[in-house]
Amino acid sequence: SAIPQESHAAFFTTVIIPAIVGGIATGTAVGTVSGLLSWGLKQAEEANKTPDKPDKVWRIQA
């Protein structure tokens, strides 16, 4: 083989592993951000819904 094992291993550790770690970190960050966004939107929706829920409950009870 033209590439010796040592330089092959060096390439693997310096290029491939950081790329994998970086990809995982990026994926985790994106997942966290999108998760927080969807959670925040859900919380906002719930906050917007809550004011009219008691009215309906009171109307049904009354």
Per-residue pLDDT reduced to its tens digit, 29-53 = 999 999 999 999 998 888 877 555 5
Domain coverage including residue 38: 5-61
From residue 17, how far is each of 22, 28, 39 by CA, in Å?
A: 8, 16, 32
Q: What is the pTM of this model?
A: 0.49
Q: Would the pLDDT of 3 be above 90?
A: no
The CA-based angle 34-16-4, given to 5 degrees, is: 175
What is residue 38's predicted lDDT score, i.e. its pLDDT?
Answer: 94
For the chain, what percentages of helix, strand and coil (3-state, to nearest 5) are there? Answer: 90, 0, 10
The domain tally of the chain equals 1
Record the tokens describing residue 20, joined without a space. 């994998």
Distance CA 17, CA 13 (A): 5
Distance CA 43, CA 50 (A): 10
